[in-house]
Amino acid sequence: MSSHRKHTHHLYLIKHQSLRWLLGFVLVLLNGCMTSIEDYEHTEPKFDLFQFFDGKSQAWGMVQDYRGRQVRRFDVELHGVITGNQLVLTEDFVFDNNETQQRVWTITKQENGRYIGTADDVVGEAVGHEKGNALQWQYVLAIDIDGTTHHVDFEDWMFYQNNNQLFNVAKMKKWGITVGTVTLFFQK
Protein backbone atom coordinates (compact mmCIF):
# COMPACT_ATOMS: atom_id res chain seq x y z
CA MET A 1 0.00 0.00 0.00
CA SER A 2 1.36 3.42 -0.93
CA SER A 3 2.22 6.01 1.69
CA HIS A 4 -0.56 8.27 0.49
CA ARG A 5 -3.19 5.50 0.74
CA LYS A 6 -1.98 4.57 4.24
CA HIS A 7 -2.24 8.18 5.33
CA THR A 8 -5.74 8.53 3.81
CA HIS A 9 -6.85 5.28 5.44
CA HIS A 10 -5.41 6.42 8.80
CA LEU A 11 -7.32 9.76 8.55
CA TYR A 12 -10.51 7.85 7.71
CA LEU A 13 -10.11 5.68 10.84
CA ILE A 14 -9.49 8.73 13.05
CA LYS A 15 -12.57 10.51 11.67
CA HIS A 16 -14.68 7.36 12.02
CA GLN A 17 -13.55 6.78 15.64
CA SER A 18 -14.09 10.46 16.49
CA LEU A 19 -17.59 10.34 15.06
CA ARG A 20 -18.44 7.18 17.04
CA TRP A 21 -17.08 8.79 20.24
CA LEU A 22 -19.06 11.99 19.60
CA LEU A 23 -22.31 10.09 18.97
CA GLY A 24 -21.78 7.99 22.11
CA PHE A 25 -21.13 11.13 24.14
CA VAL A 26 -24.31 12.81 22.81
CA LEU A 27 -26.37 9.72 23.69
CA VAL A 28 -24.96 9.70 27.24
CA LEU A 29 -25.80 13.40 27.59
CA LEU A 30 -29.32 12.89 26.27
CA ASN A 31 -29.95 10.00 28.64
CA GLY A 32 -28.61 12.07 31.51
CA CYS A 33 -30.93 14.95 30.56
CA MET A 34 -34.10 12.88 30.45
CA THR A 35 -36.65 13.69 33.12
CA SER A 36 -37.36 11.07 35.75
CA ILE A 37 -40.38 10.82 38.04
CA GLU A 38 -37.87 10.87 40.91
CA ASP A 39 -37.12 14.51 40.01
CA TYR A 40 -40.56 15.44 41.42
CA GLU A 41 -40.41 13.58 44.73
CA HIS A 42 -40.29 16.74 46.88
CA THR A 43 -42.57 18.99 44.81
CA GLU A 44 -45.79 20.42 46.23
CA PRO A 45 -48.74 20.18 46.28
CA LYS A 46 -48.80 16.38 46.38
CA PHE A 47 -50.89 14.82 43.63
CA ASP A 48 -53.42 12.07 44.31
CA LEU A 49 -54.82 10.69 41.06
CA PHE A 50 -57.87 9.11 42.69
CA GLN A 51 -58.78 12.20 44.70
CA PHE A 52 -58.53 14.49 41.67
CA PHE A 53 -60.60 12.29 39.33
CA ASP A 54 -63.25 11.22 41.88
CA GLY A 55 -66.54 12.62 40.55
CA LYS A 56 -66.91 15.02 37.63
CA SER A 57 -64.22 17.05 35.91
CA GLN A 58 -63.62 18.51 32.50
CA ALA A 59 -60.68 19.02 30.17
CA TRP A 60 -59.77 20.64 26.92
CA GLY A 61 -56.77 20.06 24.76
CA MET A 62 -55.05 19.77 21.43
CA VAL A 63 -53.00 17.40 19.32
CA GLN A 64 -49.88 18.70 17.56
CA ASP A 65 -47.95 16.89 14.85
CA TYR A 66 -44.18 16.33 14.89
CA ARG A 67 -43.62 19.89 13.57
CA GLY A 68 -45.62 21.41 16.42
CA ARG A 69 -48.56 22.30 14.17
CA GLN A 70 -51.96 21.97 15.86
CA VAL A 71 -53.97 19.31 14.01
CA ARG A 72 -56.93 18.68 16.38
CA ARG A 73 -58.70 20.31 19.31
CA PHE A 74 -61.07 18.65 21.74
CA ASP A 75 -63.14 18.94 24.91
CA VAL A 76 -63.55 16.11 27.44
CA GLU A 77 -66.17 15.45 30.10
CA LEU A 78 -64.87 13.02 32.75
CA HIS A 79 -66.57 11.03 35.46
CA GLY A 80 -64.66 8.95 38.00
CA VAL A 81 -65.98 6.33 40.42
CA ILE A 82 -63.74 4.84 43.10
CA THR A 83 -64.36 1.36 44.49
CA GLY A 84 -61.66 0.16 46.89
CA ASN A 85 -58.32 0.41 45.12
CA GLN A 86 -59.86 0.93 41.66
CA LEU A 87 -60.89 4.05 39.79
CA VAL A 88 -63.17 3.71 36.76
CA LEU A 89 -62.71 6.91 34.76
CA THR A 90 -65.01 7.56 31.81
CA GLU A 91 -63.74 10.13 29.30
CA ASP A 92 -66.18 11.50 26.71
CA PHE A 93 -64.33 13.38 23.95
CA VAL A 94 -65.81 15.87 21.47
CA PHE A 95 -63.37 16.88 18.73
CA ASP A 96 -63.36 20.11 16.72
CA ASN A 97 -64.94 18.26 13.74
CA ASN A 98 -67.81 17.06 16.05
CA GLU A 99 -66.42 13.51 16.13
CA THR A 100 -67.03 11.85 19.50
CA GLN A 101 -65.05 9.16 21.26
CA GLN A 102 -65.28 7.47 24.65
CA ARG A 103 -62.47 5.87 26.63
CA VAL A 104 -63.15 4.05 29.90
CA TRP A 105 -60.07 3.58 32.07
CA THR A 106 -59.92 1.05 34.89
CA ILE A 107 -57.03 2.17 37.09
CA THR A 108 -55.78 0.04 39.98
CA LYS A 109 -53.73 1.63 42.76
CA GLN A 110 -50.56 -0.31 43.62
CA GLU A 111 -48.01 0.27 46.37
CA ASN A 112 -45.53 3.18 46.48
CA GLY A 113 -47.47 5.57 44.24
CA ARG A 114 -47.76 3.13 41.35
CA TYR A 115 -50.78 2.48 39.14
CA ILE A 116 -51.83 -0.02 36.49
CA GLY A 117 -54.43 1.05 33.95
CA THR A 118 -56.42 -0.58 31.18
CA ALA A 119 -58.79 0.68 28.50
CA ASP A 120 -60.23 -0.81 25.31
CA ASP A 121 -57.77 1.02 23.03
CA VAL A 122 -54.73 0.55 25.29
CA VAL A 123 -52.53 -2.36 24.20
CA GLY A 124 -51.72 -4.36 27.34
CA GLU A 125 -51.47 -2.24 30.48
CA ALA A 126 -50.60 1.37 31.17
CA VAL A 127 -48.03 1.75 33.93
CA GLY A 128 -48.06 4.88 36.08
CA HIS A 129 -45.88 6.23 38.86
CA GLU A 130 -46.71 9.21 41.06
CA LYS A 131 -44.22 11.38 43.00
CA GLY A 132 -44.80 14.83 44.46
CA ASN A 133 -47.00 16.85 42.12
CA ALA A 134 -46.37 14.62 39.08
CA LEU A 135 -47.59 11.36 37.58
CA GLN A 136 -45.94 9.63 34.64
CA TRP A 137 -47.87 7.14 32.52
CA GLN A 138 -46.40 4.89 29.84
CA TYR A 139 -48.59 2.89 27.51
CA VAL A 140 -49.27 1.88 23.91
CA LEU A 141 -52.44 3.23 22.33
CA ALA A 142 -54.12 1.67 19.29
CA ILE A 143 -55.07 4.61 17.05
CA ASP A 144 -57.24 4.25 13.95
CA ILE A 145 -56.07 6.40 11.03
CA ASP A 146 -58.09 6.06 7.83
CA GLY A 147 -59.18 2.51 8.70
CA THR A 148 -55.71 1.30 9.68
CA THR A 149 -54.79 0.68 13.33
CA HIS A 150 -51.42 2.02 14.44
CA HIS A 151 -49.79 1.24 17.81
CA VAL A 152 -48.29 4.43 19.22
CA ASP A 153 -46.18 4.71 22.39
CA PHE A 154 -47.33 7.37 24.85
CA GLU A 155 -45.16 9.00 27.49
CA ASP A 156 -47.76 10.88 29.47
CA TRP A 157 -46.93 13.41 32.22
CA MET A 158 -49.51 14.94 34.56
CA PHE A 159 -48.61 17.93 36.73
CA TYR A 160 -50.89 18.87 39.63
CA GLN A 161 -51.25 22.64 39.89
CA ASN A 162 -53.74 22.93 42.78
CA ASN A 163 -56.99 21.44 44.09
CA ASN A 164 -58.81 22.25 40.87
CA GLN A 165 -56.25 22.21 38.04
CA LEU A 166 -54.03 19.64 36.37
CA PHE A 167 -51.78 19.91 33.30
CA ASN A 168 -51.06 16.94 31.02
CA VAL A 169 -48.45 16.66 28.25
CA ALA A 170 -48.10 13.41 26.31
CA LYS A 171 -45.43 12.63 23.73
CA MET A 172 -46.55 10.19 21.03
CA LYS A 173 -43.75 8.06 19.63
CA LYS A 174 -43.40 5.50 16.89
CA TRP A 175 -40.14 3.52 16.69
CA GLY A 176 -38.69 5.90 19.32
CA ILE A 177 -39.34 9.01 17.21
CA THR A 178 -41.75 11.68 18.46
CA VAL A 179 -44.64 11.91 15.98
CA GLY A 180 -46.88 14.23 17.99
CA THR A 181 -47.82 15.81 21.28
CA VAL A 182 -51.11 15.92 23.18
CA THR A 183 -51.62 18.74 25.67
CA LEU A 184 -54.58 18.83 28.09
CA PHE A 185 -55.77 21.11 30.88
CA PHE A 186 -58.07 19.55 33.49
CA GLN A 187 -60.48 21.48 35.71
CA LYS A 188 -62.17 19.88 38.73
Q: In angstroms, how far is CA 98 from the centroid of its own chain?
A: 25
8 Å CB contact between 169 and 186: no
pLDDT exceeds 60 at position 27: no
Domain coordinates in residue numbering, the chain: 48-187
8 Å CB contact between 64 and 71: yes
Helices of type H across the chain: 3-33, 49-53
Per-residue pLDDT, 26: 41
Higher pLDDT, 2 or 125: 125
8 Å CB contact between 115 and 108: yes
Per-residue pLDDT, 145: 81
48-187 CATH: 2.40.128.20
pLDDT exceeds 60 at position 24: no
| pLDDT tens per residue across span 138-149 | 999 998 888 889
Mean pLDDT of the 129-140 span: 96
Q: Exposed (0-12), middle (13-18) or buried (19+): which is 152, by Cβ within 10 Å? A: middle
Give me the DSSP letters along 21-75: HHHHHHHHHHHHHS--GGGGTT-SSPP-HHHHHSEEEEEEEEEEETTS-EEEEEE
pTM of the model: 0.79
| pLDDT tens per residue across span 55-102 | 999 999 999 999 999 999 999 999 999 999 999 999 999 999 999 999
